[in-house]
Structure 1
Amino acid sequence: MLLELDVRNYALIDSLSIPFGPGFNVLTGETGAGKSLIIDCLGLVIGGRASADSVRSGSDSALVEAVFDISDVPEAARIVAGLGIELEPDGTLVLSRQVWSHGRSQCRVNGRMVTATALAQLGSALVDIYGQHDYQSLTRPARHMALLDSFGGQDHLEAVERYHARYREWLQVRGELSELRAKARDRAQRIDILSYQVDEISKAALSPDEESSLLRERQIIANAERLHEAAERAYSALYECSDVQGRSAYDLAASALAELEAAARIDPALAETCAIVSQVCDEMARVATALRSYRDSTDYDPGRLAAVEDRLSLIARLKRKYGDTVADVLEHLETARRQLELLSGADERGLVLERAEAELAAELLAQARRLTERRREIADRLGKAVCRELEGLNMPQARFLVAMGPVESDNIASSDGAEVALGASGADDVEFMFSANVGEEPRPLVRIASGGELSRVMLAIKSVLALADEMPTMVFDEVDQGIGGEAAQAVAQRLRDIGRVRQVLAVTHLPQIAASAQRHLGVYKEVKDGRTAVAVRPLEGHERVGEIARMLAGERPSQVTLEHAREMLGDGQEIPR
């Protein structure tokens, strides 16, 4: 139950502290006094959308706090416990919402900061606000499925959520499968191209340093004759007779070594020099051997040159197609192989998706059938319950029913030869139907011409749903649209009846409804320090009589009107304070 609402710096509200009581509470005041503004504050503190525009001009932030007693609200207590927040021993719970002028907002539960989502979840277990916009929104069939399901209870809602989860999974699988099928031709073409590329590069059997090696070999073969002659001349000079006396460089070095060896036997100081010359002779012999070998192996081979040229041409062709270097070509090969592997695995992926889609479709169809059966039973109960409510709202001949039919959807599930269209909520489409008079067939709510009829139908539906889910506090913002006379009295009586088992807050312009409330709050504007502000005060005694009279006849009621107001208040106080 809502105990108190405190508001600071919200729109036209400077500072307000509004006490609420059990049973039926009513807010009245002239048009534009700020009644709906108070309902907006309550909506904000239970998780509604925050806007920087709501901050009072000249203030840094707006603050709204709501104090609840949740001693008898186990669902709210469960949510609070899930947030890790301890409850006060008396069951008191304080929700607060602060909104800054720069747009940021902050949510707290018993002083502990929480997310806006958590606040909204908790608020939905405490208060159900039925605002002015809800009247028209409830005429839209798109809303009817959720309302019907909510009447089915927690077990049914959990079954609906399980269907939702599977439906989303099914759509995801279908989307991926459809994408695979749509791209099948492109995929086949891509596989052909990649297969050719992998085959072409693989057959070439390239190595990273092959090109530079071939270029060197080509240069050697092309200059084989020159290289042969150079090696021959060098060998001859080094090891064969070269000078006019027929001696080579090696011969001269060997002669020098012989002289030094003879001298070293006389003077050992020459031994080291002798050793060096000996090493020189050995190195010259080895070089001569290498030159002879190189000379003998260096021959012009036109066949090998042609093979090298062909290989270089192949490498050049591959580079033109796949990269600037051999390394680029080899990298392209690895990339093509990976892509080919992925694309080749798409067929297998398609089979996996087809099996998954079939399994999900079968499961969804089974769930959808169970939901349909359950909804038929829920629809029957809801229709009867709303009709009972309408009878109490001075519409004894009214008929209300829930029409059910197959949903219109492009998403078709097939299983065991059956094809069924499925939507996000199952295989069903529902719409609320209504007839006010005997002999008239029920029609969609959107076609109800009378605003008064629509208001009472909406009140009946909302009452049934709220009582079914044990909502502790019900808020009705101008539930009296389009009604008067006996209908107004019937609505007042129904709100008072609901107040016996729930806390009710109603914003009204009808004196019949205001007079039926247990607690009457007057909303008005006042000017303080040169600024307009919304004010609220409890109305009792003469003040309440005066407010009812104002609602009956305007600002200057006659004595007859005042007496009528007293009579109405006397009739309306059947519930003790």
Structure 2
Amino acid sequence: MIEEMYVKNFVLIKEARISLKPGMNVFSGETGTGKSLLIGAISLLVGRAAQTQWIRAGETEAIIEASLDLSKNSQARLWLKNNDYPLEGSVLILRRILNQEGKNKVYINGIQSTIKQLATLTDLLFDLTGQFEQQKLLKEGMAGEILDLAASQWKIKAKMDFNEALRQYQQAYGNYKEMLLKKETALENLTQKEERVDFLRYQISEIKNAKLETDDEDIGLETEKSRVKNASQLLAWCQTFEELLYTQDASIISSLESRALSLDRLGAGDASLRNIKKEIEEALNHLHEVHQLSFQFGSSIDLDPSRLDQIESRLFELQKIKKKYGGSLSDAKKKLIQLEGELNLLSHTEIQLQELDKNLEITLHEIKILGAELSRLRNITARSMEEKINKQLKELAMVGARFRVVIESLDGKESSHFTKNGLDVVCFLFSANQGMKEAQLSRVASGGELSRILLAIKTALLFDEEPLSCLFDEIDTGIGGGVAEIVGRKLKQISRIHQVLCVTHSPQVAALADHHYVIHKTPDKHTTKTHISILEGIKAREEEIARMLTGIEITDKAKAHAQEMLSFSENK
């Protein structure tokens, strides 16, 4: 339930903070005051598309914020918990910011979120009804969605729950579609098989003939290439190093050994000299090790001039393999495994197609069984829906009207006609008067009739949901007098379970409200401001309802009528 709305720089609203209450809340005002702005603001909080022209002229951004009480909405609380959004007590804060660049910011309890997540959450919190929803009612596929919503909410005596039946069907349908895609790919592979097989074999042969060893063979060869190119200079360096350490007169090692021996003669009992001798001996040991490494390195140098050609030839071959098959020798080895797997798959295409056809037949049989169960559950729901909606239509002063749900099964037709929701095409038929033939809503229902049909559907469905904030934007369009009063009573009935927010031009509807808000606009220098305020006290309400009855000039007779209407509504 919405407890408070905050709107800033939204169309004509400069800034408004509105406290909303349980029960039936109505909003009225003269034509052009922007009665639907609050509903429009809330529609942004349910994730609907925004337009930059909705930002008040001269401002850079618009802010829409709502505080909601979730104490009676367990589904919304569970969604927040499952999606890691904080919830202190039962208060939810939704916030959406629009800016001139067309970018939106969305916050759920202070955490920045996405439009998609906002829409998913608010689907558990709001139900919007207006002229847009009336047109949606006429769209192809909408009848099926409404019937399935009823089937998922109403408890039907059956072996299988509708939601579970739909889940199993959609899983089987998904498997079927996946297998069809695999079959299509296999058939394409079969068509191009010979050409592809030859190409795969060529690539596999090319990689295998390269006889790839380690993943870093090319790095080792680059090192060896540098050594071979500088072989003469490296060998000369090793020989010079050998002479410096050992063979020349006064070599480093012979000189150090001589110095060490002289220390024995000069200071055998001197501890400091012994330490110096020890360090010299350790240095000699290290030099011997360095000499050994230098000797081994020099011995490994290949002076064969043909070796450089061999290395460069091998590096050229490896570079070609790397360039064609992934960028590295490791990637080329992985590519070889992939190519061999594809070749093996192509070699078994005919067998794969046979297995796919067999599995497709099994899954199609499963789809038909599950689809038939869905059809059965839908037919049960359809009869119950007809009964409930026809009852509602009678209560809405459409005594001779008939509403019927027609379900055409696609079973027996080609599987390409099947949909992700089953084997059924659902259509709503309507007749406004007794004796008239039923036809599709789009052909026979007027605007006022559509309003009442939509209200009847909403009433039938809403009573089986957790408490929502139900928004009705001029649901009374095209009706008046006694029918408008009946619509008001229906909204009042809904408000016993759900919070109702209703924009209305009908005094009959407004008189039945628990809380009445008036919307008016005033000029402000070069712009116009819209204000929303609650009517406090019976006199204020009488004045507004009298205005709704007569227009600008409020007569005593209109006031008396308004007083009578309010008195009558209090006794209902």
| TM-score normalised by the chain length of structure 2 | 0.71
Could you tell me whether the CA contact under 8 Å between 1:63 and 1:96 is conserved in 2? yes
Q: Equivalences for 1:136-155 in 2 at 5 Å?
A: 136-153=135-152, 155=161
CA distance 1:471–1:174, change in 2 (3 Å):
farther
Q: Secondary structure at the match of 2:40?
A: helix
Q: Equivalences for 1:356-367 in 2 at 5 Å?
A: 356-367=359-370
Q: Are residue 545 (structure 1) and residue 551 (structure 2) matched?
A: no
Q: Secondary structure at the match of 1:153?
A: helix
Deviations 1:58-95 (A, max 9, x none): 33322111111111111111112223334333x22221
Pick from 172, 176, 179: which aligns with 2:178? Answer: 172
Residue in 1 aligned with 2:92?
A: 93
Q: Equivalences for 1:36-185 in 2 at 5 Å?
A: 36-89=36-89, 91-153=90-152, 155-182=161-188, 184-185=190-191
Pick from 327, 343, 350: which aligns with 2:346? Answer: 343
Give the CA deviation at 1:149. Answer: 0.7
Q: Output the CA distance in 1 between the equivalents of 2:12 and 2:411.
A: 47
Q: Output the CA distance in 1 between the equivalents of 2:19 and 2:317.
A: 83
Q: Are residue 381 (structure 1) and residue 377 (structure 2) matched?
A: no
Q: Output the CA distance in 1 between the equivalents of 2:400 and 2:210.
A: 93
Pick from 370, 373, 390: which aligns with 1:370? Answer: 373
CA distance 1:408–1:513, change in 2 (3 Å):
farther
Equivalent AA in structure 2 for residue 113 of structure 1: Q
Q: Output the CA distance in 1 between the equivalents of 2:360 and 2:58.
A: 59
Could you tell me whether the CA contact under 8 Å between 2:72 and 2:467 is conserved in 1? no
Q: Are residue 535 (structure 1) and residue 531 (structure 2) matched?
A: yes
* Unaligned residue ranges in structure 2 (runs of 5+): 154-160, 212-315, 326-335
Equivalent AA in structure 2 for residue 167 of structure 1: Y
Equivalent AA in structure 2 for residue 562 of structure 1: K
Q: Are residue 571 (structure 1) and residue 564 (structure 2) matched?
A: no
Q: Output the CA distance in 1 between the equivalents of 2:392 and 2:78.
A: 31
Give the CA deviation at 1:352. Answer: 4.1
Q: Secondary structure at the match of 1:106?
A: strand
Equivalent AA in structure 1 for residue 385 of structure 2: L
Q: Output the CA distance in 1 between the equivalents of 2:455 and 2:60.
A: 39
**Matched length:** 448
Q: Secondary structure at the match of 2:567?
A: helix
Give the CA deviation at 1:179. Answer: 3.9
Q: Equivalences for 1:338-487 in 2 at 5 Å?
A: 340-407=343-410, 412=415, 421-487=417-483
Pick which of 518-527 and 176-185 moved more: 176-185
Q: Output the CA distance in 1 between the equivalents of 2:73 and 2:430.
A: 34
Residue in 2 aligned with 1:211?
A: none
Give the CA deviation at 1:521. Answer: 0.8
CA distance 1:178–1:549, change in 2 (3 Å):
same
Could you tell me whether the CA contact under 8 Å between 1:393 and 1:490 is conserved in 2? yes
Identity of aligned residues (%): 32
Could you tell me whether the CA contact under 8 Å between 2:189 and 2:346 is conserved in 1? no
CA distance 1:75–1:195, change in 2 (3 Å):
closer
Residue in 1 aligned with 2:3?
A: 3
Deviations 1:155-206 (A, max 9, x none): 5235324433432332232133134325533334554x5599799x99xx99
Equivalent AA in structure 2 for residue 366 of structure 1: I
Q: Output the CA distance in 2 between the equivalents of 1:110 and 1:197.
A: 61
Could you tell me whether the CA contact under 8 Å between 1:545 and 1:565 is conserved in 2? yes
Give the CA deviation at 1:374. Answer: 0.8
Q: Secondary structure at the match of 2:426?
A: strand
Structure 1's consecutive aligned runs of 4 or more residues displaced over 6 angstroms after TM superposition are 195-199, 205-208, 324-329, 334-339
Could you tell me whether the CA contact under 8 Å between 1:407 and 1:423 is conserved in 2? no
Could you tell me whether the CA contact under 8 Å between 2:467 and 2:497 is conserved in 1? no
Could you tell me whether the CA contact under 8 Å between 1:125 and 1:471 is conserved in 2? no
Q: Secondary structure at the match of 2:98?
A: strand
Could you tell me whether the CA contact under 8 Å between 1:411 and 1:423 is conserved in 2? no
Could you tell me whether the CA contact under 8 Å between 1:108 and 1:114 is conserved in 2? yes
Deviations 1:445-497 (A, max 9, x none): 11224322221111101111122223422111110121122211211111112
Give the CA deviation at 1:546. Answer: 2.4
Could you tell me whether the CA contact under 8 Å between 1:28 and 1:521 is conserved in 2? yes
RMSD: 3.2
Equivalent AA in structure 1 for residue 491 of structure 2: L
Residue in 1 aligned with 2:522?
A: 526
Could you tell me whether the CA contact under 8 Å between 1:34 and 1:523 is conserved in 2? yes
Q: Output the CA distance in 1 between the equivalents of 2:347 and 2:479.
A: 70
Deviations 1:374-409 (A, max 9, x none): 111111111111111112111223221211112499
Q: Output the CA distance in 2 between the equivalents of 1:160 and 1:25.
A: 37
Equivalent AA in structure 2 for residue 103 of structure 1: G
Q: Output the CA distance in 2 between the equivalents of 1:499 and 1:56.
A: 33
Q: Output the CA distance in 1 between the equivalents of 2:179 and 2:517.
A: 56
Could you tell me whether the CA contact under 8 Å between 1:130 and 1:477 is conserved in 2? yes
Pick which of 534-543 and 455-464 moved more: 534-543
Residue in 2 aligned with 1:293?
A: none
Q: Output the CA distance in 2 between the equivalents of 1:206 and 1:560.
A: 105
Equivalent AA in structure 1 for residue 494 of structure 2: I
Q: Secondary structure at the match of 1:440?
A: coil
Residue in 1 aligned with 2:216?
A: none
Q: Output the CA distance in 2 between the equivalents of 1:554 and 1:327.
A: 88
* Unaligned residue ranges in structure 1 (runs of 5+): 209-323, 414-420
Q: Output the CA distance in 2 between the equivalents of 1:325 and 1:84.
A: 55
Residue in 1 aligned with 2:494?
A: 498
Equivalent AA in structure 1 for residue 174 of structure 2: R
Could you tell me whether the CA contact under 8 Å between 1:488 and 1:510 is conserved in 2? yes
Could you tell me whether the CA contact under 8 Å between 1:149 and 1:375 is conserved in 2? yes
Q: Secondary structure at the match of 2:63?
A: strand
Give the CA deviation at 1:338. Answer: 7.3
Q: Output the CA distance in 2 between the equivalents of 1:161 and 1:115.
A: 27
Residue in 1 aligned with 2:553?
A: 556
Q: Output the CA distance in 2 between the equivalents of 1:431 and 1:88.
A: 45
Deviations 1:482-530 (A, max 9, x none): 1122211211111112222221111111111111111111112122354
